[in-house]
Structure 1
């Protein structure tokens, strides 16, 4: 059963509110795949989400390092930029499976990894009609995410 929830964020503050509303529902072993055009707000969303989890570190894009790990008050966060990866095989060779299992994984350009992960939450950020507006579509195929999407309805 695939379920989509589309939210409209009229500015960065609204995008941050959506990320903050998602944060308390995430747990170790969860994988969130983020996609969208360049500058659509993937790293901004991750930054807001990691801050909502209690991390005080500066969250930056791991474009050149591929991965960063952040400690939060509740669980470690693996932040990956898969833009330069050619697919799931490249991700596997990074040797990050232990971090994926023990923490929260936030993966930008997640669609490049295909079906590598079981039951991820997919988030697509697209430019909206107005300046600074984003359309944020959350897609879930696993029942685990249904109550999370229920909780996020109307947030922004």
Structure 2
């Protein structure tokens, strides 16, 4: 994995390319130790970009042996992990925030690590979220471009640390082209 990091004016952000499921599992394993109860990850991306696979790998990296499946029809599923409760939500079938609120999951958010697929539909409920966007990348059907970002200061140092840890393990993703550049991380537009 090798990473290129960039920064927007109000958020910390970086991109990397996962060439296969093993890279995706490695990325999930690198992110897992940064998570704590009350954290929310909102996953975005088209159909079949690997959101559910990423959550499966993340739950496993958090120490769970549970079988993780897409909660598209159940809408939400809890898993026990070494880090505590893990709430997996799939917002694909939700029309928006009102339907999300009707699920009554808010009471579990502070005591769980939360991952929401199709997170753009419910981002209002998670202002301090970590956002992960997955997109198809390159000619290989297995490659995915990940963009990790957050405007929450809580994530500035962990994302910088994550970028350093992942350097050398993933391919650099620059405008969907593989580049030999090394990673740099510029938090908050600095």
TM-score, scaled to structure 1: 0.96
Aligned pair partner of 1:119 in 128, 144, 168: 128
- 5+ long unaligned stretches in structure 2: 1-9, 171-190
Alignment RMSD (CA, Å): 1.0
1:141 to 121, 142, 151: 151
Q: CA deviation at 1:130?
A: 3.3
Unpaired runs of at least 5, structure 1: none
Separation in 2 of the partners of 1:95 and 1:130?
42
Residue 162 of structure 2, aligned match among 136, 152, 156: 152
Structure 1 residue aligned with 2:59:
50
Aligned counterpart for 1:96 among listed residues 65, 90, 105? 105
Q: Distance in 2 between matches of 1:118 and 1:82?
A: 16
Aligned to 2:13: 4
Structure-2 residue corresponding to 1:28: 37
* Structure-2-length-normalised TM-score: 0.80
Number of residue equivalences: 156
Q: Whose radius of gyration is greater, 1 or 2?
A: 2
